[in-house]
Amino acid sequence: MTVRIAVVADRIAWEERRLVEAAPAHGLHIEWVNDESLSLGDPSAASLAGYDAVLLRSRSYTRGGLIATLAEAAGIHVLNSAHAIHTCENKAVLRAALRRAGVPVPDFRLALSRPDFERALAELGLPLVLKPVFGGMGKRVTLLRDPDLAASVYDYVEDLGHAFEQACLVEPYIGGGTSVRCLVVGRELVAAAEFASGGTDWRNNAALGNSSRAVAHDPDVLKTVDGVVDVLGPGIYGVDLFATPDGFVVNEVNHAPAFRAVASATGADVPSAVGRHLQELLV
């Protein structure tokens, strides 16, 4: 019997197409369900009737955790879990959970106001990175090297319309323009690639088209990734690491990771790894 899986997302991108194509080899049938058309809340979850599981790949930082929570409440198997998604989509919550478990993260301060921001500048010192608590793909992540620029940038933060948008993290600038993206499926590190900023853009984010290369699965990387999975539970994650003199630290964890760049850099067959994981869980 073929297992039916709904890949819930706002659109079908390269990753979702590859997952759909790889599914039959693992006894699975995956089809797209628009995350804007679910109308969840009724325990019968009519929009997801007939599916054995939901593979949640919504890129929205307001939809993912809400959809996962209500789908789980309706008795549907959801990957990743609502707990994992809620933890990942809030950078402050994620870092607090990882730090509590002994997983290394960068030093940071939560800035909810200008006094918060000014105190963070005084305690951490420039250069600093200012980033939204909710968000991804390198958007609104700002490198602050100068105190006058820092003050001006925060003027824009204060003018954002909602407290949701104003919540920021302030952290030291580390990484030297490179980061390591680890693609995790279940508990397995499937692929790891280093991303380096290029041109005049200092950010090292795959969504920005920066250069990448495969990196070895060294023990420090594996230990750090294992610690992340211990906190979140087995799932499908993009774990972003920075190298420091004291070892790797976890910058963030993506609960619906793009993996085209990592697959291209490493040659890893990520869709098949996901298919095998789903097969083990559901078939």
Summarised one tens digit per residue, pLDDT across range 140-180 is 899 999 999 999 999 999 997 778 889 999 999 997 778 99
pLDDT at residue 224 in the model: 97
**Nearest CA to 106 among 207, 243, 281?**
243
CATH classification code of 109-172: 3.30.1490.20
> Rounded to two decimals, what is the model's pTM?
0.93
161 by Cβ neighbours in 10 Å (0-12 / 13-18 / 19+) ranks as exposed
* Number of other residues whose CB lies within 10 A of the CB of residue 50: 7
Residue 131 contacts residue 171 (beta carbons within 8 Å): yes
Summarised one tens digit per residue, pLDDT across range 96-121 is 999 999 999 999 999 999 999 999 99
Which residue spans of the chain are classified as CATH 3.30.470.20? 175-281
pLDDT at residue 171 in the model: 97
In the chain, the amino acid numbered 163 is A
Query: What is the domain class of 3-87 according to CATH?
Result: alpha beta
Domain 175-281, CATH number (from 3.40.50.300, 3.90.420.10, 3.30.470.20, 3.40.50.720): 3.30.470.20
Q: How confident is the model at residue 201 (pLDDT cuts 50, 70, 90)?
A: low
Whether the per-residue pLDDT at 257 is higher than 70: the answer is yes
Which residue spans of the chain are classified as CATH 3.40.50.20? 3-87
Kindly write down the DSSP assignment for every residue of the chain, as one continuous string.
-PEEEEEEESS--HHHHHHHHHGGGGTEEEEEEETTS----STT-GGGTT-SEEEE----TTTHHHHHHHHHHTT-EEES-HHHHHHHT-HHHHHHHHHHTT------EEESSHHHHHHHHHHH-SSEEEEESS--TTTT-EEE-SHHHHHHHHHHHHHSS-HHHH-EEEEE--STTEEEEEEEEETEEEEEEEEE--TT-----GGGT-EEEE----HHHHHHHHHHHHHH-SEEEEEEEEEETTEEEEEEEESS---HHHHHHH---HHHHHHHHHHHHH-
Q: How confident is the model at residue 283 (pLDDT cuts 50, 70, 90)?
A: confident
pLDDT at residue 206 in the model: 53
**Dihedrals phi, psi of 171, to nearest 5 degrees:** -150, 155
pLDDT at residue 265 in the model: 94
